[in-house]
Structures are given as structure tokens and as C-alpha cells.
Amino acid sequence: MSFLHVTVTKLLEQAFSQVEKPPASEQDAVAAIVIEELASEQRWSESFAKSQDVLAKLGEKALAEHVDGLCVLRRGRGVTR
């Protein structure tokens, strides 16, 4: 394994040592899974960050409806009249 002076956790170091054992094709498959998972996590983080304004507005609207008495409980669920 040849990394350029990268500090990693012990667990990640163990994972790297395990992934070195199989043939190159299996190593590439594991790498592709890890890369896709990291990309997916990044997309989720970006999507969630962008949704904060929308969520805040929905929360404000729900609170305003509650204060105005427009939201009532029916069978345990909030229903807007």
C-alpha cells in the first residue's frame, strides 16, 4: 500500500489492509462502492442543506395555521381545514 503521508483512523487502516488481499478486480469493486457511497452522502448533504429554507417556511406556515386555528387533530393526525 502506498499512500502519501495520509493520516487515517485505525479502523480505516484495517479496512485498507483487508482490501489489499483480494485480486485487483475485487479491490476495484470495493473502491467503486466506497466512492459511490461517499458521492451519495455528499449529494444528500447538499440536498439537505438546500432544503433548510423550504423546511423553515413549511414550519412557519404550520405554526401560523396552528395559531390561527386552521389545523385540527383528527384521529391523531394534523389536518388542515
CA gap 68, 53 in Å, rounded: 22
CA gap 18, 47 in Å, rounded: 33
Instruction: Report how far Cα 14 is from the mean position of its chain's Cα atoms.
Output: 24
What's the pLDDT score for residue 15? 93
40 touches 56 (CB < 8 A): no
**19 contact partners, CB below 8 Å, separation of at least 6:** 27, 30, 31
Domain ranges within the chain, ordered by starting residue: 10-80
Cα torsion angle, 50, 52, 56, 61, sign: positive
pLDDT digits (tens, 9 = 90+) for 21-80: 999 999 999 999 999 999 999 999 998 888 888 888 888 888 888 777 765 555 555 555
Helix residue ranges per DSSP H, the chain = 10-19, 24-67
